């Protein structure tokens, strides 16, 4: 049997972490087992659809590094891939189920249904199973919904890839609405028709859908269709072990928010792939390595904690490995918006990034790092003063400062040459070359590569600091 899996987003919102995980695992599953990955748009909940929901889902999935074989933008042989364009198909099967007695028309009005619910609640029954009042109702010229006629006393058992054997009893499911009064199918019905017609072999989705599975199995059985293999992935929980909710403000919930902050899609892909799957000791894996390591039988049955610190660690690791061009592309929007590049060369931008690359967690960090750095006071502590009092320092700083003012072009290459030349001219080497120069220009003993740092701070500021240092040295001797 060929593997065909699907990610079936409802465009009722933007791509959320939970859905991104579902999409990603379906993608991994297809890639690992040589299957086909489909994205089907489940847009039948018309009132809840948001305008750019579909666009965002596909755009963010692409940004994350996913690609698919069939969808609205890649029509295959099983389309259309958007449920609102498949209404006639659902109608046909709904009629078939009406004819076979597996479904019936329900003429109850909203008021009647509300009254039924109230009566049930008064009896302490909050399951709200429909009374089956319309099961044998004669044909009427009134608006109707179509309900599934749930069989009495039947067990529904399936072997879940993640959870093992799962059983539901039909008593726990009321006669549910398959097609609403407006002729639009509900999720549980449309999903089955599509999973069948699109020849979906495996359904991997979030645990929140597990109670839908018996409903869906009923339809498969009633239509005499083969039931796919199910896998319900465990919940993603926050630091308190609670289900990730859109109200958790300390966790960014939407993939687009990570893009906006300058996270790297590769890092996010890697991190999300570990929410419910462990490839082994090595966790930092490329997409290809993750596909290789993926094993559906190893999907975890324990809730996956969304550890923001771990995500930041991952992103920092990926950022460190980034080539300069990619780092520039990632950070340029932030520095441009902040106006930091105004009047500055590309080379200056590169110095900025080279100096801070190691300390960034995500792209936008460059802004705070830069400002914090500029605001650092230029002072020496006692240890620094001791270094600056060493006998060779005075002539070194004088020599360096003498050529500094006229240094042209002012860039890391010329600065490096000047440092070397000043060292040679005064016989200062290694630590006794770099440390006093660093102190005389930045106030710190240690820090990022000196030529780049000096380039970054600019010729005027360094000139000023050298003058201050020289004044101190003259006063000290």
Q: Binding residues for ligand GLU, per CB under 6 A?
A: 8-10, 42, 187, 191, 205, 209
CB count within 10 Å of CB 379 equals 7
Q: Are 16 and 224 in contact (CB under 8 A)?
A: no
Report, in Å, the least distance between residue 22 CB and ligand GLU: 7
Nearer to ligand GLU, 203 or 366 (CB): 203
3-state helix, strand, coil in the chain (%, to 5): 50, 10, 40
Q: Which tokens hold the place of 101?
A: 């007695």
Where would I find the beta strands (DSSP E) of 161-275? 164-169, 177-179, 202-206, 229-233, 236-237
Q: How far is the CB of 83 from ligand GLU (least distance, A)?
A: 9
Residue numbers annotated as active site: 246
Rounded Cα distance, 452 and 448, in Å: 8
Q: CB 85 → ligand GLU: shortest distance, Å?
A: 16
> What values do phi and psi take at 293, rounded to 5?
-80, -20
Helices (H), 205-307: 212-222, 255-260, 265-273, 287-293
**Phi/psi zone of residue 261: left (φ > 0), alpha (ψ -120 to 50 degrees), beta?**
alpha
Distance of closest approach, residue 251 Cβ to ligand GLU, in angstroms:
19
- Site of tokens 């610190």: 309
Nearer to ligand GLU, 187 or 380 (CB): 187
Least separation in angstroms between residue 279's CB and ligand GLU is 24
Count how many residues are written for the chain: 477
Contact 144, 179 (CB under 8 A): no
Least distance from C-beta 208 to ligand GLU, angstroms?
7
Closest approach of ligand GLU to the CB of residue 8, in Å: 4
Task: Please say which residue, 8 or 217, places its beta carbon nearer to ligand GLU.
Answer: 8
Which token pair is 269?
């892909």
Going by the DSSP 8-state scheme, the letter that residue 132 receives in this structure is -
**Angle at CA of residue 230, ends 225 and 232, nearest 5°:** 150
Question: The tokens of 385 are what?
Answer: 């003063």
Nearer to ligand GLU, 6 or 438 (CB): 6
Q: Which is nearer to ligand GLU, 201 or 441 (CB)?
A: 201
Residues forming beta bridges with residue 206, ordered by sequence position: 233
Residue 196 Cα distances to 48, 190, 221, 229, 367, angstroms: 25, 10, 11, 12, 51
């Amino acid at each position: 049997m060929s593997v065909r899996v699907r990610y079936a987003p409802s465009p009722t919102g933007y791509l959320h972490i939970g859905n991104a995980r579902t999409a990603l695992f379906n993608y991994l599953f297809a890639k690992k087992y040589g299957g086909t990955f489909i994205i089907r748009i489940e847009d039948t909940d018309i009132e809840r659809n948001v305008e750019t929901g579909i666009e965002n889902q596909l755009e963010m999935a692409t940004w994350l590094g996913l690609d698919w074989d069939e969808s609205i933008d890649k029509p295959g042989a099983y389309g259309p891939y958007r449920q609102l364009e498949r209404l006639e198909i659902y109608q046909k099967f709904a009629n078939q189920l009406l004819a076979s007695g597996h479904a019936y028309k329900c003429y109850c009005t909203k008021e009647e249904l509300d009254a039924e619910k109230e009566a049930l609640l008064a009896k302490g029954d909050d399951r709200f199973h429909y009374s089956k009042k319309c099961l044998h109702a004669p044909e009427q010229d009134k608006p109707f919904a179509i309900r599934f006629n749930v069989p009495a006393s039947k067990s529904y058992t399936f072997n879940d890839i993640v959870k093992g054997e799962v059983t539901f009893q039909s008593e726990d499911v009321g006669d549910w609405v398959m097609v609403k009064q407006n002729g639009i199918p509900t999720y549980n019905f449309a999903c089955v028709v599509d999973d069948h017609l699109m020849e979906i072999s495996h359904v991997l989705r979030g645990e929140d859908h597990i109670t839908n599975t018996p409903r869906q199995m009923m339809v498969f059985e009633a239509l005499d269709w083969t039931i796919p293999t199910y896998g319900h992935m465990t919940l993603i929980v926050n630091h308190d072990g609670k289900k990730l909710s859109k109200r958790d403000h300390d966790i960014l919930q939407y993939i687009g928010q990570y893009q906006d902050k300058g996270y790297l899609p590769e890092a996010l892909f890697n991190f999300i792939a570990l929410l419910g799957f462990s490839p082994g000791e090595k966790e930092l894996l490329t997409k290809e390595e993750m596909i290789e390591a993926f094993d559906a039988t190893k999907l975890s049955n324990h809730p996956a904690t969304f550890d923001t610190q771990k995500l930041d660690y991952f992103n920092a690791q990926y950022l460190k490995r980034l080539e300069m061009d990619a780092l520039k592309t990632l950070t340029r929007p932030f520095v441009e918006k902040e106006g930091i590049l105004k009047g500055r060369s590309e080379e200056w931008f590169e110095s900025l990034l080279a100096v801070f690359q190691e300390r960034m967690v995500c792209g936008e960090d460059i802004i705070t790092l830069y400002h914090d750095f500029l605001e650092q006071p230029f002072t020496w502590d006692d240890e620094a003063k001791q270094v600056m009092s060493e006998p060779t320092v005075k002539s070194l700083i004088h020599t360096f400062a003498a050529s500094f003012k006229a240094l042209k072009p002012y860039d890391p290459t010329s600065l490096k040459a000047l440092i070397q030349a000043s060292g040679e001219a005064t016989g200062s080497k290694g630590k006794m070359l770099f440390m006093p120069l660093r102190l005389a220009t930045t106030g710190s003993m240690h820090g990022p590569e000196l030529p780049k740092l000096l380039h970054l701070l600019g010729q005027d500021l360094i000139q000023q600091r050298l003058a201050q240092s020289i004044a101190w040295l003259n006063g000290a001797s």
